[in-house]
């Protein structure tokens, strides 16, 4: 899939600055346009307040209006700094809360990718992303790239990319996205992790061990076949794609691989649902986004085609 429009969430933090630089580099390489989006929620004027509070209310609203005006100027200045660096850049201030509004705006613009910064933390507090980034990842109908770390993307792409696959539609789209954000000399590792149910040693017998060995061989063979098929569908040209089938837990395996190999991007599919249950990513995807040592691109399955007109 080609990247035509990339939306960047901007809150003027250092993390957002990294996201903007990374998004510009990817847009420059992909020939995409870049839209800087800042969400500034303005509350409705409170009517019916006591006369004694009217002055306080008006002063508060004036402060908010001044802040929004300052943000508009700052966003315009950021656009001017990024413009002329190889990609068309525009900016947009939207009325709303960033966690919901960024994904919604990206969807309205027909964007192919959202980029946000992560306020990743160390230690126990690292269990949580910044609340805005986490909500954007969870609720956006558009694939989201969470920028983390400072890697050289000056030529517009990542060089060491890990794509975790379960052969789903989301994972297939993730591989296509990985190729779009990859540098010309990048290496993409397509990795499928698998496990078999663990049995206690109390149930271990020679027969059970032999059966498990057969299962492992069959699952490995099936995984290898599906990896070869996934790569066979990749268009010729572009970065090299290698495949691997690994026995082990996917969540731990992804994080260990990325750390060991020095990956600068992890791509993972999400099977998030709509409605209230949409607030929860697949547990593996969510854990990877929270704990990854590098940037993470969360891919969703392409939208299902609309059903044919019953009267047609």
Q: Domain check: are 126 and 258 in the same one?
A: no
pLDDT digits (tens, 9 = 90+) for 56-94: 666 766 776 777 777 888 899 999 999 888 899 999 988
Question: Domain range spanning residue 95?
Answer: 1-150
Q: Domain check: are 159 and 144 in the same one?
A: no
Distance (Å) of CA 202 to CA 110, 125, 199, 208, 210:
56, 39, 8, 11, 16
DSSP string spanning 142-195?
S-EEEE-S----TTSSEEEEEEE--SSHHHHHHHHHHHHHEEEEEEEEEEEEE-
Q: Domain check: are 143 and 253 in the same one?
A: no
Q: Which of 150, 175, 198 is the last residue of a domain?
A: 150
200 neighbors 262 (Cβ within 8 angstroms): no
Q: Domain check: are 180 and 128 in the same one?
A: no
pLDDT digits (tens, 9 = 90+) for 160-200: 999 999 999 999 999 999 999 998 889 999 999 998 766 55
Residues near 92 by Cβ (< 8 Å), separated by ≥ 6?
35, 36, 37, 38, 105
Q: Domain check: are 145 and 171 in the same one?
A: no
Q: Domain check: are 146 and 160 in the same one?
A: no
Q: Domain check: are 43 and 164 in the same one?
A: no
Q: Which of 150, 181, 211 is the last residue of a domain?
A: 150
pLDDT score for 271: 67
Give the other-Cβ count within 10 Å of 84's Cβ: 9
Q: Domain check: are 110 and 235 in the same one?
A: no
Q: What is the mean pLDDT of residues 12-30?
A: 89
Q: Domain check: are 176 and 225 in the same one?
A: yes
Q: Which of 87, 120, 150 is the last residue of a domain?
A: 150
Q: What is the C-alpha to C-alpha distance for residues 274 and 290, in angstroms, rounded to an integer?
A: 21
Residue 187's CATH number: 3.40.50.620
pLDDT score for 1: 60
pLDDT score for 135: 80
Q: Domain check: are 136 and 86 in the same one?
A: yes
Q: Domain check: are 133 and 261 in the same one?
A: no
Q: How sure is the predictor about 150, in pLDDT bands with cuts at 50, 70 and 90? A: low
pLDDT digits (tens, 9 = 90+) for 28-66: 888 999 999 998 866 555 555 566 666 666 676 677 677
Q: Domain check: are 208 and 303 in the same one?
A: yes
Backbone angles phi, psi at 295, to 5 degrees: -65, 150
* The total number of structural domains that make up the chain: 2
What mean pLDDT is reported for the chain?
Answer: 81
Q: What is the mean pLDDT of residues 259-275?
A: 80
| Higher local confidence (pLDDT), 41 or 13 | 13
pLDDT score for 308: 63
Q: Is 70 exceeded by the pLDDT of residue 242?
A: yes
Q: What is the pTM of this model?
A: 0.82
pLDDT score for 187: 93
């Amino acid at each position: 899939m080609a990247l035509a429009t990339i939306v960047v969430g901007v809150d003027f933090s250092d993390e957002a600055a990294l996201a903007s630089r990374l998004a510009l580099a990817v847009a420059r390489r992909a020939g995409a346009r870049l839209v800087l989006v800042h969400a500034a929620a303005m509350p409705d004027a409170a009517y019916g307040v006591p006369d004694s509070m009217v002055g306080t209310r008006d002063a508060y609203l004036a402060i908010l209006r001044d802040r929004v005006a300052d943000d508009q100027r700052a966003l315009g200045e950021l656009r001017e700094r990024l413009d002329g660096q190889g990609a068309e850049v525009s900016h947009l201030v939207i009325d709303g809360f960033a966690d919901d509004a960024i994904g919604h705006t990206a969807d309205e613009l027909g964007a192919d990718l959202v980029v946000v910064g992560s306020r990743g933390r160390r230690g126990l507090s690292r269990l949580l992303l910044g609340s805005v980034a986490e909500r954007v990842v969870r609720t956006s109908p558009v694939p989201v790239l969470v920028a983390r770390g400072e890697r050289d993307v000056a030529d517009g792409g990542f060089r060491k990319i890990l794509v975790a696959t379960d052969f789903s539609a989301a994972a297939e789209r993730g591989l296509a996205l990985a190729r779009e954000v990859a540098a010309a000399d990048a290496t993409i590792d397509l990795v499928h992790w698998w496990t078999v149910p663990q049995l206690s040693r109390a149930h271990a017998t020679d027969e059970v061990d032999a059966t498990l060995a057969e299962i492992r061989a069959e699952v490995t063979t099936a995984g290898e076949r599906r990896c070869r098929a996934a790569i066979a569908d990749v268009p010729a040209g572009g970065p090299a794609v290698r495949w691997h089938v690994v026995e082990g837990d996917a969540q731990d395996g992804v994080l260990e691989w990325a750390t060991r190999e020095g990956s600068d991007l992890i791509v993972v599919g999400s099977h998030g649902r709509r409605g209230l249950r949409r607030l929860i990513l697949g547990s593996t995807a969510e854990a990877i986004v929270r704990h990854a040592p590098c940037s993470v691109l969360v891919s969703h399955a392409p939208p299902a085609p609309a059903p044919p007109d019953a009267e047609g």
